[in-house]
A and B are shown apart, each in its own frame.
Chain A
Amino acid sequence: MGPTIRALLKSKTGAILIILEVAITLAIVSNALSMISTRSAAMARPSGVEEERLFTFRSSPIDRNTYPAEAAFAADRARLLALPGVENAYATDQLPLSGSGSSTSVKLGPDDPRESQTATYYADENTLATLGVKLLSGRNFDAREIRTLKPRADETPSVVLISKALSDSLFPDGAAVGKRLAGRDDSAGTGPEIVGVYGKLQSPWNGDEYIENTLLMPFRPGGRVAWVVRAQPEAVLGLQISARDMLANADRSRMVSPTAQSMLEIRAESYRDDRAMIVLMSILSSLLIVITAFGIVGMASFWVTQRTKQIGMRRALGATRSAIVREFQLENALLTTAGAALGIALAYGANYWFARQANIPMLPLSYVLIGIVLVFALGQLAVLRPAQRASRVSPAIATRSV
C-alpha cells in the first residue's frame, strides 16, 4: 500500500479529478436508479380493468334540450352489441387513468377520522362485466336503479358500489355491505347505501395518493357520454374505427369524437411523462458511466507512461507482473473508495435537494449500494488494460537512464 499512496500523492491533481468524477457519477446514478424504480413501480400497477379488451369514445348531443338521452342510449347500446366481436358496453362520465374525472370525500358521520377521498364514476349494471372488475361481496346494481342525470346535476345516489381499498379505509374491521355513508349534512346513516364491494378499479389520476379509492354511482350522463366497449383483444383495433364510425353515422343528432382510444392508449398517455423520465435517466446514467470509465482509462494510461521508469525499477528489483497489476488495481480501489465516500454525501445531498423541489421519496440505501458496487466494478474494469500494459514494462528500462 505504501508505494501506491506515495504514487498517488505525486499525482494529486489526477487523483482528485478521478475522485470527483466517481463521486458525481455515484450521486447521479444512484438517484437516477431510485427515480427509475419508483416510476416503473407506479407504471406496473394494474388499473383493475381488462385494458387489452377495452376502447372508448365520446358522444355529445348537438341539442341537449331536445336530445332523448335514455332512448338514444338504449339504441346505441343495441347497435354496439350487434357488432361482431363486441362483448359488452356501457356509458359513463369518466375512465380510470384518463386524467379527468370527479372526486369527493366520503365518511360515515360527522368528524369521522376515516374520512377518505375517492374518485366517483357513473356506472350501470353492465359496468363491472364490461370492465372485467370482480364483485367481492354484496350485489351489483340493478337495471332499475340506474338513472339518467341532466348535465350539472349533483345528486346523491341511493345506492353505491365501492372499491376494496375504499372499503378497507372506511371499514378496517368489517363488512361494508349494507352500511350507509354520511348524508350531505354529514349526518350518519342518511347517505347512500353500500350494496357491493368490488376488487380493483383505479381513479382517473395516476399520481393520486388515493388512486385505489373509487366509488360507482348508479347514474348515466344525460349529456355527453363516454362509451366503454368490451371486445375480443384481437378485435379491439378494428372495432375502434368501425364501431365509432357506425355510431357517428347512425344518428346525426349527436356528435361522436373523431377517434376512439383503446384503454392501452389511455394508459400509455397517462404514464407518458414517467416513461420519458425513465428513458432520459437511463440514457444519462449510461453515458455518464461510459464517460467516467474512459476518464479512468485515460488517467491510468497516463500514469503508466509517467511511471514507466519506476515500474521498470520495481520489476528489476523483483516485483512480479501481477504485483504491478495489483498495484494499479489497489490504487484505483483507493480512489474509488474516496470517491464513493464523497459520492454518498453528494447522493443524499442531491436527493434532499430534489425532494424539496418535487414529490420524490427518500433515496433508499440499496440504490446507493448498487451504485457503489457499480463504480467499483467500473473502476477495476477500466484500470485493467492500462495495468496490464504497465506489467509488461521491461525491467531493462530501469537500466537505460536515471
Chain B
Amino acid sequence: MTRYYLQLAVRGLLQHRALTALMVFAIGLGIAATMTGLTILARYGSDPIPQKSKQLFAVQLDAWKGDSPTNEFDFNAPPDQLTYKDATALMQRAPAKRQTAMYLTGAALQSDNAEIAPFFRPMRATQNVFFELFELQFIYGAAWRDSDDAAKARVTVLTQPLSEMLFGASNPVGKQVQYGAERFTVVGVVKEFAPKPKFYDLNQGTLGDADAAYLPIATAIDLSMNQSGNTSCFESSGNGWSDFIASECIWLQYWVELETAAETSAYLSFLNAYADEQHKLGRFVDTTRNNHVVDVKQWLKQNKVVPQDSKIFVYVSIGFLLVCLINALGLMLAKFLRRANELGVRRALGASKRSVFVQHLFEAGAIGTAGAALGVVLTILGLKGMHLLYAKLENFAVLDLKTLAILVLVSVSATVLAGLLPAWRVSQLPPARALKAN
C-alpha cells in the first residue's frame, strides 16, 4: 500500500509542476535560512569545554571604586577581571586545589634560525596549573614546575604550530627560544588549545585567536611583559610597569576548579572574608559582598557571547520559514482541491476517505523531502555565504550531521503538518458532486 501511495505522491508532484516547484523552492529556502542561522547560534552557544564546564569558575571580586561601570552590560556587576594585588593574594591563599590567574601578553620571537625574521605571537602568562585546569594535552615534555613559578624561571611551553614553525617536527624540549631580549628554555609542547568561544579570556572577542605559547606569570611580570587585553582603572595606573602592577587597575583573568557545592561555598566565603579584610585596609568600596564565582555556562551568558545579530537573523528566518510553510499549505490546498474530479472517480471506485487522506499526506511528505534535499544544498551555500560575510565564522560555523538530521526532520514534519488540513479537506469532498460535474 505504501508503494502505491508513493507512486500517487510522485504522480501528484508531477502535476502542476510550477506549483510543486514553487512549494519545494519555498520550503527549501525557509529551511535553509533557519538552519544556517541555527547552526551559527548553536556554535556560539556550544559548551567550549564540556567535560569540565561545571567545575570551572571565573572569579569576580568587587574591587572597583569608581563610578564608571566596568561591565557594559550590567552596571551592578562587579568587574570581570582582577587587580594584580588580588590575583596574587588569591593564588596564595584561596582554598582550591587548582586555580590560576592569567593574562594575555606577547613577544617578538626570534629563532636561532636566522632565516626566520622576528615575528610577534600572542602568549599567555599564567601558572603551571593552567595546563591541568583546562586539560591541555602535552605532545612533548610537561608543564613547568612549581619552583619555576616561584623562581621566575625563563621557561616556556609552546603550542604545536609554533613548535613546528621553530623546530620542525623534532622534540624541542630543552632547546632555547628568544622572546624579545630574553632567552627561554622550552619545557613542553602542547596541542593548540583553541576553545571556541574562547571562554577563559573573552577580551579579544568571543572567537579570539589561540595563544601560541605559555610562560610563568611571575616571569612575565618580572620582565614587565605588557598586557595586551583590556585594562580598566578608576584611578591613575601610575608611571610605568611597577606602578601598574601595584595599581587598582583590573586586567587579569582568574579561574578556579571547584568540584562540590561545599567547595564552592567555602571558596565564596573566602572571597567575602578577603573582601572584608581589604575593606578594612581601605580598599574595596563597601562590603556589599558583590563577589562571585561563575561557571563556564553562566560566564558565557553573562558576557553575551552570542551575537545579537545572529539571534535577530534566526528570528527573521523563522518568520521567513513560517511564511514559506503557510505558502505551501495554501498551494497544497489549491493543488489538491483541483483534483476534485479525479478523486471523485477514486472515491466512487471504492477508495475510502482515509486512503485519500493518507495519499495526500504522502504527497505532502514528498514535497517536504524534496524541500529538505534542496534545503541541505542551500544550507551549505548559506553557510559558505556567511563565511564570506563574517570571516571569523570560517571553520567555526559548519554544518554537522546532527543539524542535517534536524533539517530533514523539520522539513518533512513541518510540510506534513501543513499538509494535514488540505489532505483532510480533500478527503471530505463528496464524490457525487465531482462526478456530476463531468
Q: Do the two shown chains form a genuine complex with each other?
A: yes
Other-chain residue from A24, A62, A277 in contact with B110 (beta carbon distance below 8 A): A62
Does residue A367 face the partner (Cβ distance < 8 Å to B)?
A: no
Alpha-carbon separation in the docked complex, A27 to B322 (Å) = 12
Name the CB-closest residue of A to B230: A100
Does residue A399 face the partner (Cβ distance < 8 Å to B)?
A: no
Does residue A322 face the partner (Cβ distance < 8 Å to B)?
A: no
Other-chain residue from B117, B326, B334, B389 in contact with A302 (beta carbon distance below 8 A): B334
Alpha-carbon separation in the docked complex, A254 to B319 (Å) = 55
Within 8 A of B (CB), among A264-309: 272-273, 275-277, 279-281, 284, 287-288, 291-292, 294-295, 298-299, 301-302, 305-306
Residues of chain A within 8 A (CB-CB) of B68 are 105
What per-residue 1/0 map shows which CB atoms of B375-418 lie under 8 Å from chain A? 00000000000000111000000000000000000000000000
Does residue A128 face the partner (Cβ distance < 8 Å to B)?
A: no
Within 8 A of A (CB), among B243-292: 243-244
What per-residue 1/0 map shows which CB atoms of A238-275 lie under 8 Å from chain B? 00000000001000101101100000000000001101
Name the CB-closest residue of A to B244: A152
Does residue A17 face the partner (Cβ distance < 8 Å to B)?
A: yes
Determine if A301 and B334 form an interchain contact, defined as CB atoms under 8 angstroms apart: yes
Min CB distance, A20 to chain B, in Å?
5
Does residue B312 face the partner (Cβ distance < 8 Å to A)?
A: yes
Alpha-carbon separation in the docked complex, A310 to B311 (Å) = 49
Q: A152-B240, A357-B308 are in contact. Are A276 and B324 (CB under 8 A)?
A: no
Q: A27-B319, A287-B29 are in contact. Are A14 and B330 (CB under 8 A)?
A: yes
Determine if A291 and B29 form an interchain contact, defined as CB atoms under 8 angstroms apart: yes
Does residue A179 face the partner (Cβ distance < 8 Å to B)?
A: no
Min CB distance, B321 to chain A, in Å?
10
What per-residue 1/0 map shows which CB atoms of B321-349 lie under 8 Å from chain A? 01110110111011101100000000000
Name the CB-closest residue of A to B27: A291
Number of interface residues of B (CB under 8 A): 56
Does residue A171 face the partner (Cβ distance < 8 Å to B)?
A: no
| A156, A294, A295 — most chain B CB neighbours (10 Å) | A295
Within 8 A of B (CB), among A347-388: 350, 353-354, 357-360
Alpha-carbon separation in the docked complex, A35 to B335 (Å) = 37
What per-residue 1/0 map shows which CB atoms of B29-45 lie under 8 Å from chain A? 10001000000000000
Does residue A173 face the partner (Cβ distance < 8 Å to B)?
A: no
Residues of chain A within 8 A (CB-CB) of B324 are 291
Does residue A314 face the partner (Cβ distance < 8 Å to B)?
A: no
Within 8 A of B (CB), among A140-176: 150-156
Alpha-carbon separation in the docked complex, A21 to B181 (Å) = 67
Extra pairs beyond A17-B326, A28-B319, A354-B312 (6, CB < 8 Å): A28-B323, A60-B108, A152-B244, A281-B316, A298-B327, A298-B331
- Name 22 A/B residue pairs within 8 A (Cβ), A-sorted: A13-B425, A21-B326, A21-B327, A27-B319, A65-B181, A151-B240, A152-B226, A153-B239, A223-B226, A258-B119, A277-B309, A280-B389, A288-B320, A292-B323, A295-B330, A298-B331, A301-B334, A350-B319, A358-B309, A359-B308, A360-B312, A401-B437
